[in-house]
Amino acid sequence: MATLKPTKMLALGLLILGLLSVTVPVSVVYCAALLPLERAFPLDRPVELEELIARDGVRHSRLLQRVAGGVVDFSVQGSSDPFIVGLYFTKVKLGTPPREFNVQIDTGSDILWVTCSSCSNCPQSSGLAIELSFFDTASSSTARLVPCSDAACSPAVQTTATQCSQSNQCTYSFQYGDGSGTSGYYVNDMVYFDTILGESLVANSSAVVVFGCSSYQSGDLTKTDKAVDGIFGFGQGDLSVISQLSSRRITPRVFSHCLKGDGSGGGILVLGEILEPGIVYSPLVPSQPHYNVNLLSIAVNEQILQIDPAVFATSTNQGTIIDSGTTLAYLVAEAYDPFVSAITGAVPPSVTPTISKGNQCYLVPNSVNEIFPSVSLNFAGDASMVLKPEEYLTHFGFYDGAALWCMGFQKAQGAGSMLTILGDIVLKDKIFVYDLAHQRIGWTNYDCSSSVNVSITTSKDEFINPGQLSLSTSSQDMLFKVLQMSFVAFLMHLIEFTEFQFL
């Protein structure tokens, strides 16, 4: 049997170390996580415009409370009609073994929370054609209750009413101005998602995150016809999933969505950056709890409207917010009146302006895209958002042989009268990129039924190997095992070869 002398062993060790230093460079690679989106209601169900406005109005009063430093904003509904429960939701898998939960997408709040199996006064079924799931900490082998001493329970990272229970559990309580609310406790457990490893390669991944387990709900959250499993907050707070994952360099500090507007809805939500050449960016207003941007002007048919820019400026209870939890769009009165006047003045005589239930509407004999003007929202950073007529009008059936179209932009009233809010009517059929690392938001028009390209980053500013979503799947564990086995086999072959050479 051949043996190696110490000097030969040293030489072999140096050779292997040298090989490792050359062939195994250490770099940080972020993976983009993929979540499919579904619409929470069928599009073939009628809905009254005033119901949409009422739902948005409830939400906006909570947005103001949040700006004032009070309440976390969940997408709690203000109407019993399932059509307005919330436009988009996604599925997440939690625990071990993993269980699937349907959760609403909400860029206006931070926390991911799902309903506990022990929840009191919580709905047991849903009118949204989904089966409700309940999280049970005892049934998950990886679940850990968050103690009061945990950093996640520190007041420095909390945007909710947090306190300690007698059993030293970190608990929370959310209460809204409309009377709805939820309370529960925080849990550490696994969340599962798909990660993009490179061109045409998608792998199953997981990470440990802190999320809420709701043990009590009240108000609209208890309504069966609008029930979902929880809320997925995508705000900028420390406890949002995007912040937790990016702080551990699991994903980049950016997320993107593409919300499909027609058909049955749906779309794509990515914990990562969607790449598209036409994306333009506008800076986020710093130190705001929501996604505030600087809207500078509005143009109709390329003509800038006479609106004082000061009405769009960000201050306490004032500003322009991009919010996926709002269905329509809302302009302050100083901007709304000139906007509607410009639209009405630009349409041909074949269009009949009319008022329907207090809303500005139009009877249109043919396609709105052929006869209504284009609208441009102009933001800081020389970034414009051009809207087609179907992105500022909503279709409400037919009357005397003509199509009835009403303004999807509403006049901000009540508690939200100083807020300009861009909801899903504006966000649909576009890629939106929330680049938190660079504090900016980008967008471009896009067919959201198509695949998208997602970046894989090696540093905060460098992108490599853009991969296309949903082309193929693979197991990340299997990939790494194959690489490890191949490397070990190569080393064994090298040792045998070296032994022979040194004998």
Residues annotated as part of the active site: 106, 323
Beta strands in 165-294 (DSSP E): 170-175, 181-198, 201-218, 230-233, 254-259, 267-271, 274-275, 280-283, 292-293
Beta strands in 440-503 (DSSP E): 440-445, 453-457, 463-468
Greatest Cα pair distance in the chain: 100
**Rounded-to-integer distance, Cα 225 and Cα 56, Å:** 18
**Rounded-to-integer distance, Cα 441 and Cα 322, Å:** 9
The candidate with the shortest Cα–Cα distance to 120, out of 191, 215, 249, 1, is: 215
**φ/ψ of residue 159, rounded to 5:** -120, 15
Which segments of 40-107 does DSSP mark as H helices, in order?
Answer: 49-67
**Rounded-to-integer distance, Cα 31 and Cα 466, Å:** 11
**Rounded-to-integer distance, Cα 124 and Cα 407, Å:** 37
**φ/ψ of residue 442, rounded to 5:** -125, 160
Q: Please give the helix or strand (H or E) that residue 495 lies within, else none.
A: helix 476-502
**Rounded-to-integer distance, Cα 238 and Cα 482, Å:** 36
**Rounded-to-integer distance, Cα 418 and Cα 399, Å:** 34
Strand partners, 93: 100, 192
